[in-house]
Structure 1
Amino acid sequence: MSGDQEINITIDNFPEGEKSFVEIPFTVGGDIERIEVAYHFPFGGGGSVIDLGVAQHGRMRGWSGAERGFITLEEDRATPGYDCGPLAGAWHAVLGIVKIGPACKVDVKIRLIRKRERWLVGELHSHSEHSDGGVTVLDAIHRARAGGLDFLAITDHNTISQNIIRPDDPGMLVIPAMELTSFWGHTNFLGLARPVEDWRCRSPSDVVDRMAEARANGATIVINHPFQNSAGGKWQSGFEPHFDALEIWNGLWTPMNAQALAFWQELLVAGRQIPVTGGSDFHLKNRRRHGHPSNRLRVSGHSIADILAAVRAGRNVVSFSPHDLTALPVGIGHPDFGSRVPSGSPIAVRFDGLSQGDEIRLVDENGYKDTVKPDEGGFTVELPFSGRFLRFEVWHGNEARLFTNPFYAE
């Protein structure tokens, strides 16, 4: 892949004079994740006043006047005053010519940053005061940022009002979401501000219908805490309807999570290649913390759509906390978690942040294949791939610490 694109241009001719506009065209391809525009002009004693904005397909996407010398736009976040949205297409940097001072010239730099692979860590299941979470949306975002997260889904129960609030926070991607909360189980609809027209379910078949509606609209669907010990929290709507992932770790490690882990293994053995997730299920009253457990995703870009694509592909490591313990495939041309691997291909997974007494368990269709007890905080497991699938767990005694999604046989 070629590098980022950069356009440098100097404007020193203003044919329409003051109170006019100058437009600088550029084209953004589908492989771009961020637009950066910077400009400089003589000010102060020079007397020039030049405003800045951008337009896409002839429509203004933002305006900052002469307040900012540098602005950025991404699909899901942008400098305040600019609209998020798709980037591909025909663009113009727009200069508003307010006042032309002596020897006025404007230096404009446009950079188009290409998508790249990166690891992002975040929260896929949490709540705010828009249902029963007990904190404002902005407080939830602050808590997630303070915990070192890159993204946050606020999955309030059967409501979407939390999705209307747009945070002016360039350091956090906030995923629009809703937790469908029925008498027959809970499921997250991720990625849409309004996934369904009416959430009410009067039977398990209604739950299935709402899932199909949300999926048709483009939502990513995660079945939550399938073995929760409550009449409505336990999943009772079947596992045949399409869903994108299964939440096997909800909050603290408990018997209901152990049941979900065992059930996931059964699904894998039966040939169901179901990705898994974790979620704190934060409510202020349950004293949980965002990102405990966390989802560490290998993402191809920097948008909400990229994050959810990684969830669906199983490029996810579920860990007890965001940064203390990590696992990632290593080596030249290494396959990602969730990918298909030819038999005999080398697999190498690097674990960092291990504690004394942690053990790494290798799991395939026959159960536990091997157990490794490292003596150091960093350790790499290497072996040739064999069998139908291979995944990794980290435990400290009976305490779960980390789960990877599997590698699958080609």
Structure 2
Amino acid sequence: MEPVRETLLAVLVASLVVVSATPAASLPTDGADDRTWLAGDWHVHTNASHDACAAHNVPRLLSDPSDGCGDGPHTLSADGATRMRQAEARGLDYLRITDHNTLGGPLHAQANYEGPVTLVPGYEHSLPDAHAGVSSLNLLDRGIFEDPSEASAIDPWIDAVQGEPGGHVTANHPFSGGSSAWTEGHSDPAAWDAIEIWNIHWLWRDEVTNGFTDASNNEETLDFWTHLLNQGHELPIVGASDNHWLATTAVQGPGQPTTWVKATEDTPTAILEAAREGRTYVTWDPVGPRVALTAEGPSGEAIVGDHVPTGEEITFRAEVTAGAGERIRFVSCNGLEHESPPGAPVAEVTLTFAEDCWMRVDLVTVDDLGGSGPDDLVYRAITSPVYVG
């Protein structure tokens, strides 16, 4: 057995504990306003999901087998309140629980968890050839949405979700099994509120473990998102552990990766609004690395999700804290614009764009585990863009 797979198998067998993580005390700055960066996980499962069982067709100790595994001896997962406590132990500010086609997880968390972590109710809807992360502020009262009749009806279905208070739809893991509708033209990316750019911890992905885990090709998703940006779509990013099983929680638990949102307050309303506005970036875990991307020119200062004018000289600045020797890469519609030496805490590039464009920052290290990414890179952080034009 290859060393990486052997290590991961050992984790599957032995890792039934949650690692503790505390966000960095020294946070990067990106402009003075009344918003705060909040750390969370955008997509986590509980024992309410059908695939949290030892096998999908295992006999359940429930009257309704479609309602997940419950807490019987066959479950491989945890209930909603336990997930919230795991998030709290890791220093997260919010958790978006998204079970398959059921609200069992967030309902359990709402009834049984009292603590500092904000619950963002959601679920993962199985669409025709796609998985969508769904949230709305009234979700736990109204229930899940009806299925669209066919793939061509996905966008009207998205409109219905977005018509609810706080309605938010994420295109989940576009290059994982069962999600081809996102990549094959069955849905207009302009309809999506966000794209899940980073699904599962970067070292717990199919192209590294050679099929040992569920397919989750983040490099393909990164290329796809870049293509959509170049087509003119303004599409924020989120990341998610997609954690189902207790056995993988140590290496793929809540916050691995972490989605940071810059919100006016720590409430579901503000968190969903910040994500919709593109005030997001994704990091390796809650500890970091943290990164702040700003853009400053004659018209003022901007952060991720904002616009700066064409025709002005703009200085893009990235400030990193809690780093581990990453290289700072400024990537635009023209490709790689600038790359810092490893470990630089700050980097800048000054450019003037004559036409509409965008700028994001990637923090990367060299992949020594056999990954297939561009230049064999492991991505440690990725920001939503600042838009030009």
Same structural fold, with TM-score higher than 0.5 when normalized by the shorter chain: yes
Q: CA deviation at 1:196?
A: 6.1
The structural deviation recorded for 1:338 is 1.1
TM-score (norm 1): 0.66
> Residues 350 and 400 (structure 1 numbering): CA distance in 2 closer, same or farther, change over 3 Å?
same
Counterpart in the other structure of 1:300: 264
How far apart are the structure 2 equivalents of 1:263 and 1:302? 31
1:225 aligns with 2:225: no
Give TM-score scaled by structure 2 length: 0.69
1:312 aligns to 2:257 (yes or no): no
Q: Which of 325, 348, 352 lines up with 2:317 in the alignment?
A: 348
CA distance in 2, matches of 1:271, 1:149: 33
- Residues 78-100 of structure 1, C-alpha deviation per residue, up to 9 Å, x if partnerless? xxxxxxxxxxxxxxxxxxxxxxx
Mapping for residues 203-218 of structure 1, pairs under 5 Å? 203-218=150-165
Residues 140-149 or 201-210, more deviating: 201-210
Map Cα deviations across residues 337-387 of structure 1 (whole Å, 9 max, x no partner). Answer: 11011332333221122223x2111111111112111445x3243535646
Judging by fraction of residues, say which structure has more strand: 1
Write the distance in 2 (CA, Å) between the matches of 1:321 and 1:231: 26
What is the percentage of aligned positions where both structures have the same residue?
25
Instruction: Please say if residues 334 and 347 of structure 1, whose CA atoms lie closer than 8 Å, have aligned partners that are also in contact.
Output: no
> Aligned partner of 1:224: which letter?
N
In 2, the alpha carbon distance for the partners of 1:331 and 1:171 equals: 33
Indicate if the aligned counterparts of 1:341 and 1:385 stay in contact, CA closer than 8 A.
no
Correspondence for 1:243 among 192, 207, 218? 192
CA distance in 1, matches of 2:117, 2:322: 24
Question: Larger relative CO (CA 8 A, sep 6+): 1 or 2?
Answer: 2
Q: Is the 8 A contact 2:190 2:233 kept in 1?
A: no
Equivalent residues in 2 for 1:186-205 (5 A)? Answer: 186-192=131-137, 193-194=139-140, 198-205=145-152
Q: Which moved more, 1:119-128 or 1:234-243?
A: 234-243
- Hey, what does 1:136 align to over in structure 2? 79
2:273 is paired with a residue whose SS is helix
* Pair 1:383 & 2:350 matched: yes
Quick check: 1:273 aligned with 2:216? no
2:225 equivalent among 261, 264, 269: 264
Amino acid at match of 2:120: I
Q: Which aligned pairs between 1:5-404 and structure 2 lie closer than 5 A?
A: 116-131=34-49, 132-133=51-52, 134-165=77-108, 166=110, 167-192=112-137, 193-194=139-140, 198-218=145-165, 219-228=167-176, 230-231=177-178, 235=182, 237-240=186-189, 242-253=191-202, 254=205, 256-284=217-245, 287=248, 288-329=252-293, 334-342=301-309, 343-356=312-325, 358-376=326-344, 378-384=345-351, 386=353, 388-397=357-366, 398-404=377-383
Cα distance in structure 1, aligned partners of 2:267 and 2:113 = 16
Larger Rg: 1
- The two structures, once aligned, show a CA RMSD in angstroms of 2.4
Unaligned runs of 5+ in 2: 1-32, 53-76, 208-216, 367-376
Q: Give the structure with the larger helix fraction.
A: 2
- Aligned-residue offset at 1:164: 2.7
